[in-house]
Structure 1
Amino acid sequence: MQISIEISLYPLQNDYIPPISAFIERLKSYSELKVIGNTMSTQVYGEYETALRIVNTEMQRTHQQYPKAAFVMKVLNGDLSPNE
């Protein structure tokens, strides 16, 4: 089953761009995912269990590096990625 995830990271610190960029780049490093970013959020597409496992791993990694960070996430059934 395919899944679409919309996720936003809000590091609660003054220098917030580096943690966001690092999180997105780590997600992009997984060949199992399609990752599309924009100025408001990042969209992740892939197989349900795999995508959630990877996002969970990378969220935990972010929290270990930046303890004061909030994630907002929407999870939708199916691959709703834009046609390219």
Structure 2
Amino acid sequence: MDISVEITLSPLQDNYEEAVIRFIKSLRASGLKVLENPLSTQVYGEYNKVMQVLQQEIRSSLENMEQGVFTIKVVKTDRSSYEPHF
């Protein structure tokens, strides 16, 4: 089953950019399809693979920052080719 995940990392610390960049780079290195915009990162792929990567990378990120919040939305389909029709 393919899924689409929208994820936002909000480190609650002054040097937040480093933590966000490190997280996105680790997702890119996973081999999954990853797209970024200024507000969130989207990850697309097979459910088990996506969740395995997210579990590992979220844990690693939390261990390497003082405090942080992850906001995650999961959709049961690959929406990577979506284009608005308006």
Give TM-score, length-normalised by structure 2: 0.92
- Equivalent residues in 2 for 1:5-84, closer than 5 Å: 5-31=5-31, 33-82=32-81
- Runs (4+) off by over 3 Å: none
What is the distance in 2 between the residues matched to 1:72 and 1:83? 21
Return the offset for 1:15: 1.1
Q: Which has the larger radius of gyration?
A: 2
- Cα deviation for residue 83 of structure 1 reads 5.5
RMSD (Å) for aligned C-alpha atoms: 1.3
Percent of aligned pairs with the same residue? 39
Q: How many residues end up aligned between the 2 structures?
A: 83
Give the whole-Å Cα distance in 1 for the aligned partners of 2:53 and 2:66.
19
Give unmatched runs, 5+ long, in structure 1: none
